[in-house]
Chains A and B, each alone.
Chain A
Amino acid sequence: DAGVTQSPTHLIKTRGQQVTLRCSPKSGHDTVSWYQQALGQGPQFIFQYYEEEERQRGNFPDRFSGHQFPNYSSELNVNALLLGDSALYLCASSLGGRTTNEKLFFGSGTQLSVL
């Protein structure tokens, strides 16, 4: 049973560039949430996708956008990268779009460094 997989594991970009991160949810899950985790801090919610639509969004600028595909996999796109975007980006999957008592299954993350 495949868990949540993310790619790439590490990425180095320069300021102003654009980046795309990818996530495949746990088998049987249809909901994907993205989080940004700075060093020494807890994950910050970016947005959640269910049925190929953005259902909820955290306090992140429009430079952060996403997409969910019919097979439930998802992409996170960040445009015009800033140094402050350097962080671990986590993808979490869950089932049915429910947000009550949902158990999130996290991937190992993509470590993004912006130089």
Chain B
Amino acid sequence: KNQVEQSPQSLIILEGKNCTLQCNYTVSPFSNLRWYKQDTGRGPVSLTIMTFSENTKSNGRYTATLDADTKQSSLHITASQLSDSASYICVVMGAGKSTFGDGTTLTVKP
């Protein structure tokens, strides 16, 4: 069964600090992996897409990594801001279907 597991389930950090969110998947075959940010009461918004040949991709303060051999991805957030408080969802696509993780809820405190 295709699964996407995210950790930690929730995380609290102070403004300005860095953090790293993890995503492990068992989806096969693999097409791509996306990280989405979902603000409370809003729909998810795509941050990055990683394909099989890509190891690292950055989008501003967000940097995603992918290890296709171990089927792991991480999302690193640098110099966190209060507006980074949200749920971060890992989505893996394979065989034309997307499998969503349950997300990591990040709270950034002043």
Contacts and interface: CB of A to CB of B under 8 A. Distances in A.
Interface residues of B, number: 22
A101 B102 contact: no
A40 interface: yes
Given A42-B89, A42-B102, A101 B43 contact: no
**Secondary structure dominating the interface of B:** strand
A4 B96 contact: no
A15 interface: no
A45 B34 CA distance: 16
A4 B102 contact: no
Interface string A40-75: 111111000000000010000000000000000000
Nearest to A42: B100
Interface residues of A, number: 21
26 contacts: A4-B43, A40-B102, A41-B102, A41-B103, A42-B89, A42-B100, A42-B101, A42-B102, A42-B103, A43-B89, A45-B98, A56-B97, A92-B43, A99-B97, A99-B98, A101-B32, A101-B93, A103-B34, A103-B49, A104-B44, A106-B43, A106-B45, A107-B43, A108-B42, A109-B41, A109-B42
